[in-house]
């Protein structure tokens, strides 16, 4: 959860692959790591540097526990950090969103569960523009289901090279509400509702847990 390798107060900084403000830590290992530090203060990067303190994407996905059902749509609403949003322009799909202050929002607006985003220097969605048509929603035929689907086709310009793929369902995702070690989170599938497939110049394998959004408010 820090920059490239270096040594500070005896701790080796390691690279955290996602957005650090969405990181989930192993409490016991964090306490152990803090006890080994000198002095009364330490940067968050140093505190979370030892292996095993910060959960990896694979660990977060593996420990994700879906909710059996929800009482109503309010269970979905909140402020979240997009932890591992993949870069679909490359085959590696490395997370591109590293701005620690970037946030996502799920809100009931006009009787729809709307998704909005704030990158810090750019905002999108109905939270910031009530008249926009470019806003994804979370939908389901069963309002008590903890699984919904969404499409980001609305955010792809008509003249974009990958528009045809998006129209064929490339940017349709399955989103599941659950928890990771008691922390509320959303699990996102990959493209084509988890089936994978062609998007732009790349073709992606199936994956029902490609990304995690963690609730922070």
Residue 208 included in any domain: yes
Query: CATH no. for residue 152?
Result: 2.40.128
Quick check: is 21 in a domain? Answer: yes
Say whether both 45 and 101 belong to one domain.
Answer: no
Burial 125-139 (b: 16+ CB within 10 A, else e): bbbeeeeeeebbbbe
Q: Give how many domains the chain has, as a whole number.
A: 2
**Do 24 and 111 have their domain in common?**
no
Tell whether 112 and 42 lie within a shared domain.
Answer: no
Residue 15: what pLDDT?
53
Residue at 95 is within a domain: yes
Does the residue 84 lie in any domain? yes
pLDDT, residue 6, reads: 31
User: What burial letters (b/e) apply to 181-217, b meaning 16+ CB within 10 Å?
Assistant: eebbbbbbbbbbbbbbbebbebebeebebbbbbbbee
Cα separation, 140 vs 112, in Å, equals 11
Does residue 1 sit within a domain? no
Residue 143 lies in a domain: yes
Tell whether 75 is covered by a domain: yes
Domain with 43 in it: 7-54
What pLDDT, on the 0 to 100 scale, is given for residue 94? 85
Same domain for 16 and 77, yes or no, is: no
Q: Are residues 101 and 153 in the same domain?
A: yes
**Domain identity same for 149 and 49:** no
b/e for 104-120, b at 16 or more Cβ within 10 A? bbbbebeeebbbbbbee
pLDDT reported for residue 16: 63
Q: Are residues 97 and 188 in the same domain?
A: yes
Specify whether 193 is located in the same domain as 91.
yes
31 plus 120 within the same structural domain: no
Same domain for 105 and 44? no
Q: What is the pLDDT of residue 99?
A: 85
Say yes or no: 167 and 94 in one domain.
yes
Full pLDDT tens readout for the chain, 217 residues: 223 323 333 333 345 678 877 889 899 988 888 888 877 777 777 788 788 888 999 999 999 999 999 999 999 999 999 999 998 888 888 888 888 889 999 999 999 999 999 998 899 999 999 999 999 999 999 999 999 999 999 999 999 999 999 999 999 999 999 999 999 999 999 999 999 999 999 999 999 999 999 999 9
Task: Confirm whether 149 is domain-assigned.
Answer: yes
**pTM listed for this prediction:** 0.89
Q: Is 48 in the same domain as 86?
A: no
- Boundary-marking domain end, from 34, 54, 74: 54
């Amino acid at each position: 959860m820090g920059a490239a390798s270096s040594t500070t107060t005896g701790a080796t900084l390691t690279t955290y692959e996602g957005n650090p403000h969405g990181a989930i830590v192993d409490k016991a290992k964090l306490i152990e790591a803090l006890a080994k530090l000198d002095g009364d203060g330490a940067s968050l990067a140093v505190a979370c540097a030892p292996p095993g303190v910060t959960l990896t994407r694979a660990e977060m996905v593996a420990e994700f526990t879906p909710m059996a059902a929800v009482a109503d749509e309010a269970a979905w609403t909140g402020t979240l950090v997009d932890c591992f949003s993949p870069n679909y322009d490359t085959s590696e799909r490395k997370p591109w969103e590293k701005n620690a202050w970037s946030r996502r929002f799920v809100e009931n607006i006009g009787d729809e569960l709307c998704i909005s985003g704030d990158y810090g220097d750019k905002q999108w969605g109905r939270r910031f523009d009530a008249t926009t048509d470019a806003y994804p929603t979370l939908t389901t035929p069963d309002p008590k289901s903890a699984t919904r689907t969404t499409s980001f086709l609305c955010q792809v310009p008509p003249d974009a090279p990958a528009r045809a793929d998006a129209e064929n369902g490339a940017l349709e995702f399955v989103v599941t509400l659950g928890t990771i070690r008691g922390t509320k989170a959303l699990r996102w599938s990959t493209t084509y509702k988890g089936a994978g497939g062609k998007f732009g110049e790349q073709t992606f394998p199936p994956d029902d847990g490609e990304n995690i959004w963690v609730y922070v408010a």
